[in-house]
Structure 1
Amino acid sequence: MTFKQLEAFFWVVQAGGFAQAATRLHTTQSAVSKRIQELESLFDTALFDRSMRSARLTEKGEEMFMQAKRLLDQRDATVELLQRPEVLERHVRIGVTELTAMTWLPRLVGAIEANFPRVIIEPRVDASVMLRDKLLDDEVDLMIVPEMFNDQRFVSKRVGVVEHALMCKPGLVGRRRRLRTDDLTAHRLLTQDDRSGTGQLYNRWLRSIGVKTANTVFSNSLVALIGLTVSGMGISYLPRKCLAPMVDSGALEVLNVSPALPSAPYAAVCRGDRQSGLVASIARLAQEHCDFGRIFQTQ
């Protein structure tokens, strides 16, 4: 029995099919099928129920999957322990939200490549809830998201804090730059829904101060929210520091609202049962390089 056979079996199950496993392992579907057949021949038992159209495990296959997962985890832990950082070979999948992708993600990837030259980083950009699900499904190894998930299955390390402000097109609310909370109900709100960690935070804040409006536009695209706000569609909460140039140029106006918006802490999060020295090192690099102050940062 080889690790290649175990990897093929594991990823057919984990990724949901032979073609998906081949993509994940950077090989061909026929090579994956051959490794599975070798495993089944070795143990003289079927691991998949081939009467089904999908790759569904047999009872023995379920048991084998748990053993394969355990062995592969032990192999990875041993490799990380014994190999020097400069020769460690791994693919690490990092899930980030759009704001991180628009600001400091390139700097983080550059720092990882400098410290771990043979590690391949595979970024995934998505909403916080979608990244949480990917982390639970082993589709990402680490996610950098707003601190909104109080889940005992996760290990979290804070990397930074984002200050948001309510913004609009200059002149949209007249000459008043200071608003009471009930003034917000007279305007269309541009917001993210609860698939976004930031959306959860600020939608909860709006409810806590009694702001209820049916005139709301939802979008989980930060770029779209910025565009809609600049065009005068309504008021939105946007990251203050990285959009300061747009405020200075007159494209956006910052509104003062009492009470002020809470800040949004961000964290690097991994699964507690998948802890890895490499992933922990990447989380520390995220702490060192986190910078939400500028958009489109280069390495």
Structure 2
Amino acid sequence: MNLRFLETFLWVAKLRSFSSAAEKLHTTQAAVSNRIATLERDLGVRLFERDLRTVRLTPQGQDALRRAEEIVRLATEFRDLAGDGSRLRGSIAIGTVDTIVYAWLPRLIEQMKNRYPNVSMDLAVDTSLNIARQLQEGTVDLGILMGPVIGPDIHNLEICSFDCVWFAAAGLDLPAEPLELSDLVRVPILAYSRGSQPHHAILRLLARVGIQPDEARIYNTNSIATMIRLLCDRVGVTTLPRCVVQEHLDAGRIREIEVNAAIPPLHFHAAYAERPGNPIPAAIAGMAAEIAADFRAATETGPA
């Protein structure tokens, strides 16, 4: 049985269109139709019901789909294991968030370059909400974000978490520590983008001590660079992972402040959709997990 024909079957089933599958596989619709007809003849069953508008799996097609997915997955893993990384070719669209950029993303890109030299990358930095949507729509192959992402065929690999610490500019005038949230609302609170997990966590902390959102000035941004600049310029206070601001902390531009309120740790996932015949997202997700673990170990033990 031809593996390429099975991959074609998977794409037609996923996209519900012979023409869309042909476009995805860079072939003709006639070639796709011929592959499916050959499969149906070899298997002795009808895999699809066809009409003018759509293509639907038959009950026999549903049964065959699960088996075909397993065969293609195993064949892909075998090809990847049998060769070295230089034989893996293609491209990957990665969506990630600022926190990962400031933590260990450069290490991931460097390792990708060394292990998979023939894989090209499109990288976008966005909010977790937008990356999750793009992953569900299929415009992103791998998301490294505050997850998990729920959707058909989407796999989530929990890769790291970061504790958040409160920071203020070194010269910002604040009451004596430890501080209460009521002390902090005297100045703006610089927060992640509206609707994000840490933004909601700050709102819950305020509500817990009876502070309404309109009684606090929360400045939201999807750019950590902007947040840090405002922090250093004494515009407000913020709570971020220490690794994000370590350079400014070491330079004495900002300082940790003790606050009797903490937002929960930020949990990050590598999320990717299973694509027939494409092992690249899963391979890079596994690499991200390795690098995140190494980064955590290095930051916990400190320099030798």
The TM-score normalised by the length of structure 1 is 0.65
Equivalent pairs, count: 283
Matches within 5 A, 1:1-299: 79-80=79-80, 83-146=83-146, 148-149=147-148, 151=150, 154-168=155-169, 170-171=171-172, 174=173, 176-178=175-177, 179-214=179-214, 215-271=217-273, 276=279, 277-290=282-295
For the pair shown, the structure with the greater C-alpha radius of gyration is 2
Deviation at 1:198, TM superposition (A): 3.5
| Alignment partner, residue 52 of structure 1 | none
Contact preservation (8 Å) 1:182, 1:210 = no
Q: Distance in 2 between matches of 1:165 and 1:70?
A: 48
Contact preservation (8 Å) 2:132, 2:149 = no
Q: Distance in 2 between matches of 1:198 and 1:268?
A: 18
Q: Distance in 1 between matches of 2:297 and 2:218?
A: 26
CA-to-aligned-CA distance 1:21-52 (integer Å, 9 cap, x gap): 9xx99x9xxx999999x99xxxxxxxxxxxxx
Contact preservation (8 Å) 2:145, 2:270 = yes
Moved more, 226-235 or 186-195: 186-195
Q: How has the CA–CA distance of structure 1 residues 91 and 234 changed in structure 2, closer, same or farther, with 3 Å as cutoff?
A: same
Deviation at 1:132, TM superposition (A): 0.6
Contact preservation (8 Å) 1:141, 1:279 = no
Deviation at 1:128, TM superposition (A): 0.4
Q: Distance in 1 between matches of 2:70 and 2:229?
A: 47
AA partner of residue 142 (structure 2): L
AA partner of residue 233 (structure 1): V
Deviation at 1:107, TM superposition (A): 0.6
Q: Distance in 1 between matches of 2:124 and 2:7?
A: 22
| Alignment partner, residue 45 of structure 1 | none
Q: Distance in 2 between matches of 1:292 and 1:252?
A: 25
